[in-house]
Amino acid sequence: MEWRLVSPELSMALLAIGVILLDLVIENKKVLVSLATVGLIVPFALSLWLWGESATAMNGMLVVDSFALFFKCLFIGITALVLMSCGEYITAKMERFRGEFIALILLSALGLMLMAATRELISIYVALELSSMSLYALTAFLRDRKSAEAGIKYLLLGAIASAVLLYGMVMLYGLTGTTELGAIKERIVEEGLREPALFMAMVMIGTGFAFKIAAVPFHMWAPDVYEGAPTPVTAYLSVASKSAGFAVILRLFATAFGEPGWMHDDWSLMFGVLAVVTMTVGNVIAIHQVNIKRLLAYSGIAQAGYLMLGIAAANAAGRSGIMFFLAVYSLANLGAFITVIAISNKIGSDLIGDFSGMIKRAPALALVLGVCLISLTGIPPTAGFIGKLVVFKAAMDEGMLWLVIFAVLNSVVAAFYYFKVIKVMFLGTPKSMEPVPAGNGLRLALVISTVGVIILGVYPYVLYQFADKAAGLIP
């Protein structure tokens, strides 16, 4: 094995260990956050260094290709933005275990990186559990009533979803005699398998990852967990965990079940129906939310529905569209959550009504949140419009006009609750004129998010080329 092929993962693991050791000697935890953020340059640079590589590591269990490297860069970028924003938060909200909090985020990112790189069922499961165990602990980190409740719900429901996923993998292994995704496809084609148990295994695996991306009806954990978890963890969960789920779904279904025929058609239709239900339920329930974190939770559920259009299309354009959409969605959603962190830290509330008149108290924060919500709506010239456009086009190319019509109608519904928040911030009467402060790290994260949303809305070509190249390497 060439160690350079797993150098991004090794450097991420060493960074997490280094944070735990430095926590013993560094009193100022903001410095520790800064060191961890700067340290992410190493795995990011190593991932870029390997770009264009096509090889396997760990006896074929891990694959190093542009698809995996694209998601590794995405996860590292998400982690960096979250860490930039959480310095003031952990100082204000956490009295102990601040170093462990940072290390757990890094270990979770390590698990997500491994999920995107693996092409073997056991490795997928181990990487999933590494990420999930860290997230369960992070969700309950505040140790108050809401945080503890969120952690327990996430743990219990996550364990059930994990068991369903594992049972589906066991059934698939029993039918094909292998856990390697490419070999599974070969066995299915060579033996002409049409067993009902094979379809059941596919459904159970899809169910396990539908929980990960918060697709309806496996979304019940998201609103409570998003509301109760520390806000930086909520921001991380909303984009990183979702992106990893889509990365595994894309590789697993395109590789193991990608042969044109009855299975291909069935899972394409399955994800199409799931997309309609998910986006509709997410948007309709979001309309009635009064808590900004719960509103963004249901918004994330609806966004998962839009993303599943690319899976339902089951073509190269759909895969690259999902990857582009995930990148721009991450920027917009992180920008929204980071703004909520800054405002909530000051006003001590996540209620939308308490954001009233924020344009007069914190004009920069209100403008950033407004831009990010417009991007999530999918209105030009923001990146969210391009993200939806490429996914919708991929579905249109496969003749799924009905699916695109549902998606467009749901986008109109989503505009109602996104603009409700904007209206409160821009037209409401402020409850106080006291300004809302923001630290340097948080400001930098907001600048990166906002500039990215605008630039990628005007000039998306470079990122889309990266996504297109990475998606083309999937068998």
From the CB of residue 122, how many other CB atoms can be counted at a distance below 10 Å? Answer: 14
CA distances in angstroms from 417 to 29, 410, 451, listed in the order given = 37, 12, 24
What number of residues does the chain have? 475
Distance between CA atoms of residues 112 and 108, nearest Å? 6
The secondary structure element, H or E, covering residue 62 is strand 62-64
* Per-residue model confidence (pLDDT) at position 220: 83
CA distances in angstroms from 354 to 41, 50, 338, 419, 424, listed in the order given = 37, 47, 17, 16, 9
**Contacts for 442-445: CB closer than 8 Å, 24+ residues apart:** 442/84, 442/85, 442/87, 442/88, 442/338, 442/341, 442/342, 444/84, 445/81, 445/82, 445/84, 445/85, 445/334, 445/338
* Per-residue model confidence (pLDDT) at position 311: 85
* Per-residue model confidence (pLDDT) at position 57: 80
8 Å CB contact between 453 and 381 = no
* Beta-bridge partner residues of 62: 57, 118
Distance between CA atoms of residues 127 and 141, nearest Å? 22
Question: In this structure, what token pair is assigned to residue 337?
Answer: 């959550």
CA distances in angstroms from 317 to 167, 282, 399, 407, listed in the order given = 31, 25, 13, 17
- Report the SS3 class of residue 380: coil
CA distances in angstroms from 347 to 42, 51, 147, 236, 361, listed in the order given = 37, 44, 19, 22, 11
Residue carrying the six token digits 């986006």: 279
**What are the boundaries of each domain within the chain?**
261-475
* Per-residue model confidence (pLDDT) at position 1: 57
* Per-residue model confidence (pLDDT) at position 473: 45
The rounded radius of gyration (Å) of the Cα atoms in the chain is: 21
Question: In this structure, what token pair is assigned to residue 369?
Answer: 């949140």
Category of 450 on φ-ψ map: left (φ > 0), alpha (ψ -120 to 50) or beta = alpha
Give Cβ neighbours of residue 422 (< 8 Å, ≥ 6 apart).
Answer: 369, 370, 373, 374
Q: What is the largest CA-CA distance in the chain?
A: 71
8 Å CB contact between 304 and 314 = no
- Per residue of the chain (475 residues), give pLDDT as tens: 578 888 899 999 999 999 999 888 887 777 888 888 899 999 999 999 988 878 888 777 888 888 889 999 999 999 999 998 887 777 766 667 778 888 999 999 999 999 888 888 888 899 988 888 888 888 888 877 888 888 888 888 888 989 999 999 998 888 888 888 888 888 877 776 677 788 888 888 888 888 888 888 888 888 888 888 888 888 888 898 888 888 888 888 877 776 555 556 667 788 888 899 999 999 999 998 888 888 988 999 999 999 988 888 877 888 888 999 999 999 999 999 888 888 887 787 788 888 888 888 888 888 998 999 999 998 888 898 998 988 998 888 888 888 889 999 998 999 989 999 999 888 888 877 787 777 788 888 889 999 999 999 888 888 888 888 887 744 4
Distance between CA atoms of residues 310 and 474, nearest Å? 14
8 Å CB contact between 43 and 76 = yes
Residue carrying the six token digits 């409850």: 431
SS in 3 state form for 311-374? HHHCCHHHHHHHHHHHHHHHHHHHHHHHHHHHHHHHHCCCEHHHHCCHHHHCHHHHHHHHHHHH
